[in-house]
Each structure stands twice: as C-alpha cells, then as structure tokens.
C-alpha cells in the first residue's frame, strides 16, 4: 500500500487495519489510556506470525481481530516477542491454548527468555541469535531481526519484514499522548518538521497547530523508558541503514511518511539526559563518602 492508500483508508479501530499486503494492526483504541499498545499480524498464505501479541486483558480483542483478518488461530506458527514486558507477553498462555499446535514457536532473545518462561510458556522458545537473525516463512518471505540492546531491555530487538519494508520497532519511536486524540497513523503537521520550540506538554494542544505535539510525546516516552543516551544512540545507528518503509512501534502511532520517520530519528539522536544520564545530570557527583 502506498501513502495515499494508507491515509485514505476508512479506519475502523474496531477491526484489523491493513498496513501492507499481508500485514495488519490488530490492537485497539484504548480511550482510557495515554499509552496505546500495538500488536501486529503477518499473514502469508496458510501461515501467520503475531508480533508482540499483547497483555492478558487485551487478549479477547486482539484474537477477535486476528479472526476478522481471516486467520484461524491454528495458522499462527510463531509468536515474536521483542522484549519481555507484560503488555507484550501477558497473553502467552491464552494464545498457546487457542492456537493449540505442538510445533508453535516463540521467538525472542536469550536475555529475554528466562523472563518469558515465567508467563507459563509451554512452547519452545527460540533465540534470534541461533536463527542467524532471520525467520524465513514457507513462501520465502523473510523477517530479519536486529538487536537493539538496552533499548529498553538487555534483549531488545526490532523486526524488519523484508517484503513490505515495515520495521516493527518495539518501544523505539513509541510515544505517549492524549488518548482521545490518538490516531494509528501519525498526523504530523508540516510546520512541526522545522519547529525548534522547547518540548511542550504532550497532553496539551500546541498553540501553533491546535493538536497535541507528536514530538513531545515521543521525547517524553524515550526519556522515561530508555536507560541511557548510549543505548538510544546505538539503536538509531542500527535503524538508520535499514531503509524501512514504515516505523510501526508497539506504543503510540505509526510513522509512515519518510519525512516524519527521518524527523523522528534525527530528534531522538539529538536527545540528551536519557534515563540514568538524566538523573546523573541533576545530582551531585558521587564521592564515595
């Protein structure tokens, strides 16, 4: 799908939303929260893969949308978890039960897997390192995995669907904001691209555009979630050469315009005082006394 097709969709958040051929958003518009969660489904022939499948309370909504996308639970062959937080992994027992296939595989990274096992996992858990950082589906469609350590967990990684070009970025490029004004596809005013104002409150409307500031929501999220400047800088260096067609984060809105993707990447690269670095900048140096 091109950009025109994306923005001209009659978006119904109560149904799965197509991002590209064989790629669907299967989350929901959580009007009570300022933090949207976005599971994604890849469908290729009789095979399907669910990425960051969601929390236990969200299970029924997500599975209903998987069914609405024309996928029977038993078609799901792999569950991909890009880190181990409960908003991604909480529904694993529910998914395993309804998928009900002995060859179901969970894919994550070795640093995540000891924690993922605590979700009462029955299926085999694979590490992306042992897969040489890629998964090839029966048709030849390939997912490539890129480690982004400590962004935000030690085992964090991102997933690139080579066929569509979509990069599933996990917490990277995530944002917070006003739930009532959330859109699945980021609507960034052209004036925001050159804005040099200090970061406004993401929960208040910008005086210039009359909308909440996407950049401030992104900045607040990364400042609170990411552990350090170095981890975020490293992640951006990994992402930059991939040449993604779209950034599909696990939180917030999807970035689908190249200028917005580039703008987000550049703004993140300029951020300082992330995580522990921000704390150290505000306290007296430790003397050991």
Which 3 state secondary structure label does DSSP give 169? strand
Give the per-residue pLDDT at 283.
78
Determine if residue 243 is left, alpha or beta; phi over 0 gives left, psi from -120 to 50 gives alpha, anything else beta: left
Higher pLDDT pick, 199 / 43 = 43
- The answer to whether 156 and 170 are in contact (CB under 8 A) is yes
**pLDDT single digits (tens) 202-245:** 666 776 777 767 788 888 899 889 999 999 999 999 999 999 99
pLDDT tier at 55, thresholds 50, 70, 90? very high
Q: Is the pLDDT of residue 177 over 80?
A: no
What DSSP designation does 101 have? -
Q: Is the pLDDT of residue 287 over 60?
A: no
Of 55, 62, 113, 58, residue with least CA distance to 86? 55
Cα separation, 124 vs 21, in Å, equals 29
Give the per-residue pLDDT at 130.
97
Mean pLDDT for the chain overall: 89
Residues 6 or more apart whose Cβ sits within 8 Å of residue 268: 173, 218, 222, 232, 236
Q: Could you tell me the domains of the chain?
A: 3-279 (3.60.15.10)
Residues 6 or more apart whose Cβ sits within 8 Å of residue 23: 40, 41, 42, 43, 161, 164, 166
């Amino acid at each position: 799908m091109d950009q025109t097709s994306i923005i001209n969709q009659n978006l119904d958040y109560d149904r799965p939303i197509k991002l590209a051929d064989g790629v669907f958003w299967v989350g929901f518009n959580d009007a009570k929260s300022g933090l949207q969660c976005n599971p994604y489904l890849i469908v290729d022939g009789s095979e399907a893969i669910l990425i960051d499948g969601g929390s236990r309370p969200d299970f029924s909504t997500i599975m209903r949308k998987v069914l609405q996308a024309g996928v029977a639970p038993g078609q799901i062959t792999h569950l991909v978890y890009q880190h181990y937080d409960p908003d991604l992994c909480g529904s694993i027992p529910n998914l395993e039960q309804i998928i009900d296939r002995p060859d179901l595989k969970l894919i994550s990274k070795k640093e995540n897997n000891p924690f993922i096992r605590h979700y009462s996992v029955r299926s085999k858990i694979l590490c992306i390192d042992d897969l040489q950082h890629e998964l090839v589906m029966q048709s030849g469609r390939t997912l490539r995995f890129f480690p982004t350590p400590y962004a935000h967990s030690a085992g964090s990684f991102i997933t690139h669907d080579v066929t569509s070009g979509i990069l599933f970025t996990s917490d990277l490029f995530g944002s917070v904001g006003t739930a009532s004004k959330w859109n699945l596809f980021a609507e960034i005013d052209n004036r925001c691209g050159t804005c040099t104002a200090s970061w406004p409150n993401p929960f208040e409307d910008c005086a210039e555009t009359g909308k909440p500031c996407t950049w401030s929501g992104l900045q607040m999220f990364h400042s609170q979630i990411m552990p350090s400047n170095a981890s975020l800088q490293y992640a951006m260096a990994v992402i930059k050469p991939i040449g993604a067609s779209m950034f599909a984060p696990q939180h917030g809105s999807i970035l689908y315009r190249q200028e917005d993707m580039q703008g987000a990447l550049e703004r993140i690269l300029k951020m300082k005082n992330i995580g522990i670095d921000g704390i150290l900048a505000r306290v007296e140096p430790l003397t050991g006394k």
